[in-house]
Amino acid sequence: MKSVSKIAIALLLSLPLATAQRPNTTTPCDYYAAKSVGANTPENQRLLMALVLHSALLGPFSTYNNVKVPDFVGALQPTVFKGEYVDLNGYFNGGFASANVNGQAAAVNFLDDGGLDATRQLKPSNGNSSSNQEYGRKPGPLPAAHFPRTS
């Protein structure tokens, strides 16, 4: 994916600049929450993480996106790449048996409570706590990985 390669290269090239700006005694979340979205608070750190994740999925969708990557529309935005139509939504909305549930291939709708509309509003979901999309409503850090409920 050409756009993903451009992003990866841009991130790698900007790493020395980012680390040069941030003091070694300050964590990335502490530094960039204050620099990007205001004061360094747990809520602003959660907002920062949501912005990073949602920007990767939706492309530059908010006023916080000030780094432009030409031709990047977001991983979940249908597009044409090298003349071919590409739509990855089926991997996230239950269109394909692309998840592993109890050792078996399964179609899991990870966007089952608000989908991308909730994401555009920087919400993890519309609030259904039994949803596969629901994450981050509980206090504490976001999970490293989110797995579908099997019960």
What is the average pLDDT across 52-65? 78
Radius of gyration of the chain (CA): 17
Of 22, 20, 17, nearest to 32 by C-alpha is: 22
- Confidence (pLDDT) at 57: 83
Percent of the chain with pLDDT over 70: 73
Give 7-34 pLDDT, tens digit per residue: 666 655 555 555 557 788 888 888 888 8
Q: Return the H-helix or E-strand segment holding 86.
A: strand 84-86
Q: How many helices (H) and strands (E) does the chain have?
A: 4, 4
Q: What is the mean pLDDT of the chain?
A: 76
Percent of the chain with pLDDT over 90: 13
Count the neighbouring beta carbons within 10 Å of the beta carbon of residue 72. 20
Segments making up each domain of the chain, as ranges: 2-73, 88-138
**38: pLDDT strictly greater than 60:** yes
